[in-house]
Amino acid sequence: MLVLGIESSCDETGAAVVDHDGRVLSDVVHSQVKLHAPYGGVIPELASRDHLKNAGPVVREAMSSAGLSWERIDGIAVTNRPGLVGALLVGVQLAKGLAWARGLPLVGVDHLVGHLLAVFLRRGEDAALPPEFPFVALLASGGHTAIYRVDGPSAAHVKELGATRDDAAGEAFDKVAKVLGLGYPGGPAIDRLARGGDPKAVPFTLPMGFSKSFELSFSGIKTQVAARVREHGVPATEAEMAGTCASFQAAVTSVLAKKLVAAAVQERVSTVVIGGGVAANRELRSRVTELAGQHGIRAVLPELASCTDNAAIIAYAGLVKLQNGERDSWNLIATSATSLPRSTRKGRGAR
């Protein structure tokens, strides 16, 4: 079975072809990073217009680099939630047009389910063996951060164990990078600078770090970095900048790894997985592998290209739905809300 996936929920226009084993036959991503960089964040109206310009050519390139004719495609999957609605509409409408013209089944995919199933994709020959259900997953992207118990490959099989009460982990990387003058997006820049830094240089405290709950919080550490910059200015030397990045990154990744593994121990599952843009973070990857290993738990990490936004994760999540007999009709809508359950209340205060 071969499925064409289309992704346009935020600032990446993607199209990819994936087979039933999760093998990625093509994966084309057109990034809008340069378009939004001068504003320090994504401007929704600019994102929609850029998707409109690039979605057609990106699909054409995904088909030609897979070396496939349309007759070989068995279905079309498209991100229809959550995301910027104007941006989602571009992908959804393109997918409907293609499905109608080719007489193919259409399925809408929750972007977050795509991230959760990213570990099933196989790009290189040495891709890790996919995990078995059930597992506990950390989803950490620019807009969402949560720990889930996952009993099967659809939203109905996902239970939230804890989520952030405020900012997402990727959002914290982006905001801290902005305060430090490192540009947008912040995750890759902080990851790179932290490599040479002393993680003990700045004693940041991480809210919820010692709490037994699986709920998370990242706005406090962002405020700590901002307060330091207000008091001392932006780190002046290379070593100070690297130390600030390393200390921030160590605080965030240690609490993510600790809570993920603790959740797996509580749920008595033998596998943990990670997904979302922050899953590309080098330190998070090594901490999760090491800590899981200490508890006899297998950590399955997606390949780097499967972490940040791409259409292969959408094609695979859609393929699973199609195999299940699911179909969407021509009135498939786009919405900013995820279909995943949410139990963590946003905001401060006692629980």
* Binder of residue 308, out of ligand KG4, Zn ion, none (CB less than 5 to 8 A by kind): ligand KG4
Question: Which part of the chain contacts ligand KG4 (CB under 6 A), choosing from 64-72, 85-93, 179-187, 208-216?
Answer: 179-187
Give exposure, 313-333, as e/b (b: 16+ Cβ within 10 Å). Answer: bbbbbbbbbbeeeeebeeebe
42 or 255: whose CB is closer to Zn ion? 42
Out of 244, 281, 289, 306, the only residue in the binding site for ligand KG4 (CB under 6 A) is 281
Q: Judged by CB under 6 A, does residue 170 bind ligand KG4?
A: yes
Q: State how far the Cα of 136 lies from the Cα of 138, in Å rounded to an integer.
A: 7
177 or 297: whose CB is closer to ligand KG4? 177
Out of 14, 108, 153, 186, the only residue in the binding site for ligand KG4 (CB under 6 A) is 186
Contacts of residue 133, Cβ cutoff 8 Å, sequence gap at least 6: 150, 151, 152, 153, 157
Q: State how far the Cα of 91 lies from the Cα of 88, in Å rounded to an integer.
A: 5
What's the one-letter identity of residue 333? I
With H, G, I as helix, E, B as strand and everything else as coil, classify residue 105: coil
75 or 187: whose CB is closer to ligand KG4? 187
Asked whether 314 and 16 are in contact (CB, 8 A), the reply is yes
CB of residue 233 to ligand KG4, shortest distance in Å: 24
CB of residue 123 to ligand KG4, shortest distance in Å: 16
Q: State how far the Cα of 68 lies from the Cα of 62, in Å rounded to an integer.
A: 9
Q: How many Cβ atoms sit within 10 Å of the Cβ of residue 129?
A: 9
CB of residue 115 to Zn ion, shortest distance in Å: 6
Question: Which part of the chain contacts ligand KG4 (CB under 6 A), choosing from 62-70, 183-191, 209-217, 257-265?
Answer: 183-191
Residue 17 burial by CB count (10 A; 0-12/13-18/19+): exposed, middle or buried? buried
Q: State how far the Cα of 264 lies from the Cα of 7, in Å rounded to an integer.
A: 30
Q: Judged by CB under 5 A, does residue 12 bind Zn ion?
A: no
- Tokens at residue 48, please? 């929609």
Q: Judged by CB under 6 A, does residue 221 bind ligand KG4?
A: no
Binding flags for ligand KG4, 131-150, as an x/- string (CB under 6 A)? ----------xxx-------
Out of 32, 48, 141, 154, the only residue in the binding site for Zn ion (CB under 5 A) is 141
Contacts of residue 134, Cβ cutoff 8 Å, sequence gap at least 6: 149, 150, 151, 267, 269, 271
CB of residue 332 to ligand KG4, shortest distance in Å: 20
CB of residue 210 to ligand KG4, shortest distance in Å: 23
Out of 108, 185, 243, 302, the only residue in the binding site for ligand KG4 (CB under 6 A) is 185
Cis peptide leading into 134, omega within 30 of 0? yes
CB of residue 1 to ligand KG4, shortest distance in Å: 26
User: Angle at CA 117, nearest 5°, toward 113 and 335?
Assistant: 15
Out of 7, 50, 110, 174, the only residue in the binding site for ligand KG4 (CB under 6 A) is 174
Out of 62, 77, 116, 278, the only residue in the binding site for ligand KG4 (CB under 6 A) is 278
CB of residue 161 to Zn ion, shortest distance in Å: 20
The secondary structure of residue 347, as a DSSP letter, is S
Report the interface residues with Zn ion, using CB under 5 A: 141, 309
Q: Which residues bind ligand KG4 (CB under 6 A)?
A: 10, 141-143, 170-171, 173-174, 185-188, 191, 276-278, 280-281, 308-309
